[in-house]
Structure 1
């Protein structure tokens, strides 16, 4: 039970991601545009991330001071980054912006309950990318996972209920591109200066993402007074639940529960997004679509459960 708080930490972080699509749709209903929505999210997220980095730096200095007082030596402060490392981290943050732009734009054309299903295709896309890069055919568990994800997606998307007529090709394409971008983020972000404290990594990655966004969508909302309307509220909520809370909670919980369990709990994003789209946005989600959501969740957790099982078997042998 001592790991319960870490399990809850990762679970809440994943559920926070599931809130985003509903907030974006509500912002669109108020007339705000894509660049304004994503821009305010990243400005808020960047401010919160740097406040956390500053707090972490102050704590490190206090700890360093205590070490000097007690032992006469001190550890190297992990906040010291070369500009090369900073640039690497900022570049690693770029795919998150592309993911957000594609995902949020897809919400203009397809229901939020479908958009999140499309984003979740990053699971098999990541497997495909790694299989091609390593030139290694996926094992049986992975192939079963891909089959579950594909079948579950067809059900959850509502194709069996309503056919293809209600689907917008552009929305579907944008949703799938967001999954590709997110897959790239997962693959590359973990390799970007992993020895640096998560607070500093997050701050520089969000900063890099914000700069890229401002190149693509100049931040006129910062100067034309629009920021001080309801846009600020939407941006704050998106920044809080998208760019701040999940990374912090994952940094707290994942080291204690492991990547496998974190992957299982991370799937909580999907049902939260579908539930909110149903109850808040009043999108119709049929029973068959809920079956599809459950099948997709099974596809997400199956590889992790398989890893945990084999790890337990190996531990018993030892």
Structure 2
């Protein structure tokens, strides 16, 4: 696969996350609680992933690998719980800005754990992304943002756990087939979600059936696709560039809010969306050249044979 394919795969993984906040808001307005929405998403998503695994070639994983991947799923589950919790007391726009702080946290992780100092381009890219995110979320253009300390803390915790998940999805279980790895990550996430939000609603058939349409959509775009796409792409692009690419979620979230929820999106917010896409492009230019040279080195022996 060419290097830009991996870049595109991670970018699409971010886009999937952008779809979620709209459906979460729709589920809340239909009267479902954070417990039902979060639990339903991870339950249906994990079941769908394991069903897909059944149709793939069987590959064994060691107990050690399986445990590592289950544990790596914990920040994945926590991100959903923390983010949806913040959506209860904050505007969707502000909640996503807080989650968006994962962009620089990911680069910080790369610096701390891999001793990879961020390049000048990466720092410029992050600054553009953060400015774009403030504009896109409408913090400047829309007065009267309702702030709550709890919401603020939940949102920042979601950013921290999301960065951790992106970091781990690129570094843990690299030899495990993507779909199986994704299923184990989702299972780890489901366990932590059920511990945080006891699934009492599972015994109420009418609630389970009512929340099912939302759960299926959230499960597919929030649990099945992102870990699978990140599992394929992250090991090739690295957590620093990976978190920049995942910033694609905010333009998608703003567009969805406009198209589906009918939210008015001002010109300033659209300018923010354009800035974010520009920031992602800046982050990729230098990285793409580096990825291509690595790819060329890997391909060269095959040309001689």
Whether 1:38 aligns to 2:18 is no
**Who is 1:300 aligned against?**
280
Alignment of 1:1-318 (within 5 A): 13-57=13-57, 60=58, 79-133=59-113, 137-162=117-142, 165-248=145-228, 254=233, 259=237, 266-310=246-290
> What is the TM-score of this pair, normalised by structure 2?
0.82
Q: Shift in Å at residue 89 of structure 1?
A: 0.8
RMSD across aligned positions (CA): 3.4
> SS of the counterpart of 1:190?
helix
> SS of the counterpart of 1:107?
helix
> Contact 2:169–2:230 (CA<8 Å) still a contact in 1?
no
Distance 2:4 2:126 in 1: 30
Distance 1:291 1:196 in 2: 41
Q: How many residue pairs are counted as aligned between the two chains?
A: 296
- Cα deviation digits, residues 275-309 of structure 1 (max 9, x gap): 11123223332211221222223223322222113
Q: Shift in Å at residue 15 of structure 1?
A: 3.2
- Cα deviation digits, residues 117-162 of structure 1 (max 9, x gap): 3322211111123324456653321221232133223322333224
- After superposition, the Cα gap between the structure-2 partners of 1:155 and 1:5, relative to the gap in structure 1 and judged at 3 Å, is closer
> SS of the counterpart of 2:140?
helix
Q: Shift in Å at residue 313 of structure 1?
A: 7.5
- After superposition, the Cα gap between the structure-2 partners of 1:166 and 1:286, relative to the gap in structure 1 and judged at 3 Å, is farther
- After superposition, the Cα gap between the structure-2 partners of 1:209 and 1:191, relative to the gap in structure 1 and judged at 3 Å, is same
Distance 1:217 1:171 in 2: 17
> SS of the counterpart of 1:97?
helix
Distance 2:71 2:182 in 1: 12
Q: Shift in Å at residue 230 of structure 1?
A: 1.6
> What is the TM-score of this pair, normalised by structure 1?
0.79
> Contact 1:145–1:303 (CA<8 Å) still a contact in 2?
yes
Unaligned runs of 5+ in 2: 301-305
> Contact 2:6–2:237 (CA<8 Å) still a contact in 1?
no
- After superposition, the Cα gap between the structure-2 partners of 1:111 and 1:281, relative to the gap in structure 1 and judged at 3 Å, is farther
**Who is 2:303 aligned against?**
none
Q: Shift in Å at residue 206 of structure 1?
A: 0.9
Distance 1:245 1:125 in 2: 23
Q: Shift in Å at residue 238 of structure 1?
A: 0.9
> Contact 2:170–2:230 (CA<8 Å) still a contact in 1?
no
> Contact 1:198–1:251 (CA<8 Å) still a contact in 2?
yes
Unaligned runs of 5+ in 1: 61-78
